[in-house]
Amino acid sequence: MTTIVFSGPTISVEEIRTYLPNAICLPPASQGDILRACAQNPRTICLIDGYFGCVPSVWHKEILWAMEAGIHMVGAASMGALRAAELAAFGMVGIGAIYDEFRSGRLTDDDEVAILHGPSDLQFMPVTDALVNIRSTVARAKSEGLISEREAKRIVSAAKSIHFSDRKYENILSSAFEAERAADLFAALKKVKVDQKRRDAIHAIKYLREVDHSQRYVAKYVTNRTVYLEEMLAEAGALYYDRSSGAMVPISNDQILDEIKLQNGTFSMALKDARLRKFGAQYAAKNGYQQQVEGRVEEVRRRYFQAKGVTNPRLESLWLRRQCLSESTFSGLMLDTALAIQAWALVGDQSAAMIFEQVKLDGLFDTFVNRAIRKSTALKRAATAVKTEEAMSWYCQKHGLSDEGRLRSFMASNGFLSKEDLFRIVVDEYAYMKSRALRGICPIKDEVTEEAG
């Protein structure tokens, strides 16, 4: 089982590996890094350190998406404690005293854990002191009688007033006390200095060593796949569930669209239906039909699932997850579908997004995803190249494309943008089918539908 740990100034890679020898240790996380880590198909991701301010921080939704993908998420000490407290209700596990403080609401600001540190070639050496560590140190000094209650409050207040990039004991004490007392306090605090962040990080690493994460995490929610999340997934390399391995596998939208195009008739039918739905939504906005139709959406939804053979309402969310549909997106599609019953027309240009929506609604999206995954894997193993002429001869014979006119008509109805587009996709398809034939899976003459089923 793979465990990935994001850390830097809080705890070193060497110390992590004393407890978790096989852990994959990555530097402090920034926005998108959790999604990129998912491509390694870990069972657990532990977030300790992450960037603040200078670059976009780890986004809540990428953590939610990782958990929905079956990955256990653990947070502690720094950015991890902050995100774990914010996402505890969704199942992210928080470890340590700092997490407890954020979870209880006693601490709320992210500058409590923020520090300035050196680059990776200096092992992210801390340059300033974290406010949570200062609080712990001051509390210990007060309990041991080294400082008074009043001094403790002044130190914490002064520390809070200084930006985290300048927050060092020397600066804090010199801003709040005369030079002689500041020097005495610096010596006293140095004797009892507490690194609470490091303590919590070690606690989290020990937890990862002991906990059983042999089973994949099962989320009790569906992440709303917003445009921004889709863009981040595309940048990170979109990940989809592979039914055969149970892993999350990177596959591009282009690869999935290639599979849709190769399935004769699916592209044109999905495009037609998607246009109809889009027109329905536009027609409603212009002519005031939306309010009238909203009352029919539940009935449309019931009939939809009935047609798909999903008769148990408790299985609806599972079906939506397999088609990569969030509940909110699906509800919007049901409204469009209800409107389309009243409105018949064509709208818009050919669009992969529209095709994907319709193929998901048709219950076929996971089929094309997994075929694209299998093809991508097979092509990486392919030993010999395939000639375009041989591949096109095979494909044209299979689809009865005996002349140029039929070929052009076929290309137009199935979404091929040019002959080059067709040649590229067919060459890959022929190489894939040949590799299957060589492995004895199916004869090369068999239709795509036989494999997809």
pLDDT digits (tens, 9 = 90+) for 303-316: 888 878 888 888 88
pLDDT digits (tens, 9 = 90+) for 153-180: 999 999 999 999 999 999 999 999 999 9
Dist. CA 352–CA 350, nearest whole Å: 7
Question: Which pLDDT score, from 0 to 100, does residue 51 have?
Answer: 92
Dist. CA 83–CA 97, nearest whole Å: 14
Question: Which pLDDT score, from 0 to 100, does residue 108 have?
Answer: 92
Question: Which pLDDT score, from 0 to 100, does residue 294 have?
Answer: 79
Mean pLDDT of the chain: 85
Q: Which residues of the chain have pLDDT under 70?
A: 231, 234-239, 241, 243, 245-250, 252, 283-285, 289, 341-352, 383-384, 409, 412-413, 415, 417, 439-453
Q: Which stretches within 192-296 are classed as H helix? A: 196-210, 227-236, 253-262, 266-287, 290-294
Question: Which pLDDT score, from 0 to 100, does residue 249 have?
Answer: 67
Backbone angles phi, psi at 26, to 5 degrees: -120, 155
Question: Which pLDDT score, from 0 to 100, does residue 19 have?
Answer: 94
The tokens describing 110, both together, are 């992210």
Using alpha carbons only, how large is the chain's radius of gyration in Å? 29
pLDDT digits (tens, 9 = 90+) for 7-63: 999 999 999 999 999 999 999 999 989 988 887 778 899 999 999 877 889 999 999
Question: Which pLDDT score, from 0 to 100, does residue 311 have?
Answer: 83
Length of the chain measured in residues: 453
Question: Which pLDDT score, from 0 to 100, does residue 319 have?
Answer: 86
| CA 259 vs CA 329, 386, 432: distances in Å | 23, 18, 12
Instruction: Please give the distance of CA 356 from its chain centroid, rounded to a whole number.
Output: 19
Dist. CA 364–CA 325, nearest whole Å: 12
Contact 220, 91 (CB under 8 A): yes
Q: What angle do CA 370, 74, 216 make, to 5 degrees?
A: 35
DSSP strands (E only) in 91-162: 93-95
Question: Which pLDDT score, from 0 to 100, does residue 244 have?
Answer: 73
Question: Which pLDDT score, from 0 to 100, does residue 322 have?
Answer: 78
DSSP state of 50: B
Give 257's contacts (C-beta < 8 A, 6+ positions apart): 352, 355, 356, 415
Give 200's contacts (C-beta < 8 A, 6+ positions apart): 76, 77, 81, 95, 96, 97, 98, 99
From the list 277, 403, 250, the residue with the least C-alpha distance to 340 is 277
SS3 142: helix
Question: Which pLDDT score, from 0 to 100, does residue 245 have?
Answer: 66
Residue 73: which H helix or E strand, with range? strand 72-76
Residue 365, classified by CB atoms within 10 Å of its CB into exposed (0-12), middle (13-18) or buried (19+), is buried
Instruction: Please give the distance of CA 428 from its chain centroid, rounded to a whole number.
Output: 28
Question: Which pLDDT score, from 0 to 100, does residue 149 have?
Answer: 94
Backbone angles phi, psi at 240, to 5 degrees: -130, 155
Backbone angles phi, psi at 277, to 5 degrees: -65, -45
The tokens describing 376, both together, are 């991508």
